[in-house]
Amino acid sequence: MGAKIREKFAATPQLFSVLTILALLAVTFLSMCAYSESYKHMQNISKLIVQCIPLAVVSLGQTLVVISGGIDLSLGATISLTTTIAARLMNTDSPAQIALAVLAMFAAAALVGLLNGVGVNLIRVPPLITTLCMSTVLQGVALWIMPVPGGKVNREFATFVMQKWGVLSMPLILLALAYLIIHFVLYRTRTGVPLYAIGKNPRIAASMGVKIRSVSVRAYVIAALLAALTGLLLACRMRVGDPLVGTNYTMDSITAAAIGGTSLAGGVGLISGSVLGSFLIGMLSNMMNILGVDQFYQYVLKGSLLVLAMIVYSIPGMLGVKRVAK
């Protein structure tokens, strides 16, 4: 049994980072419980979880792209864009139109992902540039649709998407669903391993028969779709659209992935790490809000966190176990 676990850890050393974040989460939680009596109430915990979920969802997508050897700087703008689409189209009582609006959000995102994938793989513009340009374009479109926060999301629909049952909630269920689907795709279908393969070395992957372009495009499309889901959650939470709401999510999703043990060089990473990384970022933000720390210090902390994660993971042996295979 012990040997089996050892083998598992040897095959995926990032499991250590998952354990580390779990420990950090526990420490944060316990110290906040000690600080504030009401912190550990079910209601607060549920609220906290719901707060962290939009970032967790978009981080799943970012992780896929980063594993595939790319990076997606347009996810934040995609989120903003989809909230503006939602707020423009969901100011209605007709369920059919709301369904159509949801469809429009995901269709727009899919198109964005496809364009990113095509730009990176067929026109061969580096991912950093492709997605940065895409981000600027999308930001422009979002501001064109809605220059200032506004519009309206149908109340019943928003309540439906945000409803809670104790510690459970609809956003949590959506995150769980997204997680399970991505997990299935990554580890149970033939799309997953090639994603890691092209992230490590596209040339070798191609020589082994992997269709590297198609795999990479898929990663960008899935990431954009997850950004649309994040946009849906945010729109329903705010009940308005906001052309700038997504801005921080690009950087935060990269940080979450990096904290979770995903190598920004590609080829290495775990989606569970990114989800936990998002929760860590969310809980730290929340903690600082409670403690009354100013917003600018929070920026400094988030930036430092990313650098710290990269430093920690760059130290050899910090992550890796000694080889077990003989």
Partner 1 sequence: MTNEYALEMIGIAKAFPGVKALGGVDLRVRRGELHGLVGENGAGKSTLMNVLGGLVQPDAGRILVEGAEAAIAGPADAARMGVGFVHQESNLLNNLSVLENVFLAREALGHMGRLDRRAMAEEIEALNRKLGYNLKPFARVGDLSLAQQQSVEITRALIARPRILILDEPTAALGEEEVERLFRILAALTKEGVAVIYISHRLDEVVRIADRVTVLKDGCVVGTLEKREIARERLISMMVGRVLEDIYPDRRDMAPGKELLTVEKLNVRGRVHDLSFAVRAGEIVGIGGLEGQGQRDALRAVFGERAASGRIALDGVDLTRSGMATRIRAGLGYMTHDRRNEGLVLTMSLVKNASLAALFRLTGPAGIVRKRRERAEVRERIDGMQIKAASIDQMVVNLSGGNQQKVMLARWLLTRPKVLLIDEPTRGVDVGARMSVYRIIDSLTRAGIGIVMLTSDMMELLGLSDRILVFYGGRVVREYARGEATEELVIRSASGLG
Contacts to partner 1 by CB under 8 A: 7-8, 10-11, 187-190, 192-194, 196-197, 199-201, 204-211, 267-268, 323-326
The answer to whether residues 72 and 65 touch, using CB atoms and an 8 Å cutoff, is yes
- Distance of closest approach, residue 183 Cβ to partner 1, in angstroms: 12
**Residue 242 to residue 162: CA distance in whole angstroms:** 18
Question: How far from chain centre, in Å, is Cα 263?
Answer: 15
Structure token digits, residue 323:
């080889």
CB nearer to partner 1: give 197 or 235. 197
Q: How many CA atoms lie within 13 A of 72 on its CB side?
A: 40
Q: How far apart are CA 237 and CA 288, in angstroms?
A: 22
* Shortest CB 58 distance to partner 1, Å: 24
Closer Cβ to partner 1, 212 or 312, answer by number: 212
Instruction: Report H helices in the chain.
Output: 2-11, 15-35, 42-67, 75-89, 95-121, 127-145, 155-162, 170-188, 192-200, 202-207, 212-238, 247-259, 271-291, 295-314
Nearer to partner 1, 166 or 209 (CB): 209
For residues 199 and 231, which CB has a smaller minimum distance to partner 1 in the complex? 199
- CA dist 268 and 251 (Å) reads 19
Task: Give least dist CB 266 to partner 1, A.
Answer: 9
CB 11 within 8 Å of CB 324: no
Nearer to partner 1, 292 or 322 (CB): 322
